[in-house]
Structure 1
Amino acid sequence: MSSVGAGSSLQVHAVRFGPGQELLGSLQAFVEKRGLRAPFIITCVGSVTTAKLRLANATATNTNQVMHLSGRFEIVSLVGTLNPDAHLHICLSDGEGRTFGGHVLGDLEVFTTAEVVLGEAVDLTFSREMDGRTGFPELVVRSKTEEELKALGF
């Protein structure tokens, strides 16, 4: 599996999502509409009323370790990459300060707001390819030049 360790120029995008919007789908639509090829979350603050998270003890053969949350939760942290197969992790806190976190599967319905700052590594492209060692599609980083050559069949 190929992976580039090179640096890149950075472009920053900011967006706010409002009540009732599904955050993961909205972020993916934002990325697709703007044609971002190596996007990632820089920061996010806001709140959600629902969340569907895959827990840390899930494996490639046992992916049903899922938590469904419903209530009012502050987004304490949201991190990850937003290529077509987004890989995001979130940490949420409830009204008593208890935290819950995991791999985002969706159902992140915005409660009041979700203010997100995205970065794009403009000289790179992100994709996901199956990794036999983990059993999951894992991040592959390529330079734009490498990606353009691959598209041409080289």
Structure 2
Amino acid sequence: MAEFGVQRVLMGRLRRGDDILEALAGLARQHGITTGWIQLLGAVERARLAFYEQAQQVYRDFTLDEPAEILAGTGNISRLAGSDEPFVHLHLTLGDGQGRAWGGHVLEGTRVFACEYAIWVLSGPALERHPDPETGLKLWRPA
């Protein structure tokens, strides 16, 4: 476990057509964010999401190629081991026009219709993601 304080909170909106992951990573680079927590809401024009198959340790991706509301968006900013670039890990729950919910791990190609964000910039130790042999994922190392 690591302890963090909140340095500041950035709030704003992404532009229509932005790739959500690219835009959030760009904000992290621009503002020097190494560790942060993300929350967002709004809508997407299309979404590329993935589900992690635990037994096979692979992501299964799918596309929702229609407008959808962002019912909940949450994620974090850290670094991949050996990289100075911010890594955005984001999950979305989306609602379609029939009231059905879709969700998963966000992949590049998820396009914004309208999106408002809040990023809690955290002070404390830099978090790095390392390969975890037990799960096959890149996870934060325990303190």
Judge same fold: TM > 0.5, yes or no. Answer: yes
For normalisation by structure 2, the TM-score amounts to: 0.85
For normalisation by structure 1, the TM-score amounts to: 0.80
Which segments of 5 or more consecutive residues in structure 1 lack a partner in the other structure?
143-154
Q: Residue 130 of structure 2 corresponds to which residue in structure 1?
A: 129
The one-letter code of the counterpart of 2:25 is Q
* Number of corresponding residues: 136
The one-letter code of the counterpart of 1:106 is E
Deviation at 1:59, TM superposition (A): 5.6
Question: In the TM superposition, what are the counterparts of 1:22-33 in structure 2 within 5 Å?
Answer: 22-33=19-30
**What SS is found at the alignment partner of 1:30?**
helix
Hey, which bits of structure 1, 4+ residues long, moved more than 4 A? Answer: 58-61
User: Counterparts of 1:6 and 1:19 in 2: how far apart (Å)?
Assistant: 36
Percentage of identical aligned residues: 26
Q: 1:81 to 1:68 in 2, by over 3 A?
A: same
Query: Is the contact made by 1:12 and 1:120 (CA closer than 8 Å) also made in structure 2?
Result: yes
Q: Residue 150 of structure 1 corresponds to which residue in structure 2?
A: none
Q: 1:59 to 1:86 in 2, by over 3 A?
A: farther
Matched, 1:55 2:51: yes
The one-letter code of the counterpart of 2:120 is G
